[in-house]
Structure formats: C-alpha cells, structure tokens
Amino acid sequence: MATSLSQTINVLEYGVMGSILSIPANYNHSMIVFYSSKGINKGIREWGQMMQRAYNRTNQHRLNDLTINYLGYYTDNGAYYYYNTEKGINYEETIINVYHQIPLPFHYIQLDSWWYYKGIRDGVTEWTGRPDIFPDAHDWGLVLYEQDWLDRQTIDFLPTRTDIHIGQQWLMSMGEAGEKVGINIQYCMNLPRHILQALQIPRVTHARTSIDYAVHLVFPIKAQWAIGISSMLADAIGLAPFKDVFWSSSFEPGARLIKN
C-alpha cells in the first residue's frame, strides 16, 4: 500500500512513495517482473496464479458469495433510485416497492450512501439508518460490505500518504472484521494497490472495475464498459470483476445524475 510505480517511454520507476515521512529499519520491499511468451492474457493469468500461491489465497469466499452468484438490485450513482425516491414515500418504502414490483429474481439490494447519518462534506458520522429515510434499518440483514471511495481515501488522506504502514493496517483490519462476522467485502473506486493488498484479505471477493455509471451517462466519451484491462487484473488475483449499475432502457425520466 506504500509502493508506487510509474512508467514513461523508456523509464520504469518504482519504490516507496516519496511522501512517506520515515522508513523503519529492516523494512523490506520487493518487486516481481513477470514475462510470458503466451500473450498478455495468459501472462497476466499466470502472474496472478503465482501471486495467489505466494499468499495462499483461495477462491472459497468468492465461490460462495451470494452477491456474485445471484442477481442483485443496486442504488449506486447512476441508478434510478440514487438519492431519489418514489413520490410521497420514504426510501425504505421505495425499496420495498422495487422488490415487489420488479418481476426479476434478485436476491439482494445494495443500499448506497443515502441511508445513514452524515457530517462534514457528507462523511459518515453514524452508520445507522435515519428514521426519516430508513426507519427499520435494524431489521434488514447484511450480506456484503462495500468499501467505496478507496482512491480518494488513499490519495487525499494525509496519513495514508505519509505513514508507511497505515494503509495496509486499515485494509487488513477491515478484512479481519469481515472474517469475524462472516461478511464479504467489495472494493470500489480502488487503485491497483488495493487490488494487490486484497491478496492478503480473503474476505475481499470482488472489486469494481468501472467508473460510476452516472459519469458515463453525463460524459458518454468515458466508456463505462471499458473494463477489460482492469477486470483482467482483478480476476488474476482472485477477485470477481464488477461492473457498475446500468439502465435497462435508454430513457429514465426523473433519474438523478450526480457527477463524481
């Protein structure tokens, strides 16, 4: 989590981030250069298999993840009900209506960032359902925890840029908590460093490999389906690639689009 890599035309640079304030004695850093004569796809897959063996990662949780094996309904940025309810009813009633009125066999519903208490710059202050939005939140089950905004929390948060251990400790602690309560984790808006760190976190079963669907709707040039390379990376180390939500029709009157 404290390593960076950059490449120009003929120069490859890698090592500990220059913003790190101190490096402890005996700190170890390594890099693998992997080559395959069987093409890019095969090369990435072989590299991933080698990395999984090195970290003893298995696909046990991925294979048994309900949110990977079954259809779900999302309220992420770009979905019709992202910060948007049916007229005259609250969010909980809206989601219940979705479940009863859509004739599709989805097994879970993703609740985005609209249901809990927030503070400065919309940061979460209490991970509890607001009674005016989701009054019976305590009665709903939890099968997956989605950690969103990983890029911003890493790039814009001073401690993760200056402390050599804190980024890894944060994600490892999250994974240990997931293991303790039996909940899998999805990474979102992740950087390659987060994907690589997941090698040590069995409860991370999948990662989003696309931008927000809303960004694609506002700026079509930013192709939301351009997920080939990022999906290859995620899948190689054992994470199921996840594409964000999408509209089932080209025109959805009343939908809210929020640019990140």
34-87 per-position pLDDT tens digit: 989 999 999 999 999 999 999 999 999 999 999 999 999 999 998 999 999 999
- pLDDT (tens digit, 9 = 90+) per residue, 83-135? 999 999 999 999 999 999 999 999 999 999 999 999 998 889 999 999 999 99
The structural domains of the chain, with segments of one domain joined by +, span 3-242
Provide mean pLDDT across the span 23-28.
Answer: 94
Q: Categorize the per-residue pLDDT at 248 as very low, low, confident or very high, splitting at 50, 70 and 90.
A: confident
Please report the pLDDT score of residue 109 as a whole number. Answer: 95
Token pair belonging to 176: 């240990």
Please report the pLDDT score of residue 62 as a whole number. Answer: 97
Please report the pLDDT score of residue 48 as a whole number. Answer: 97
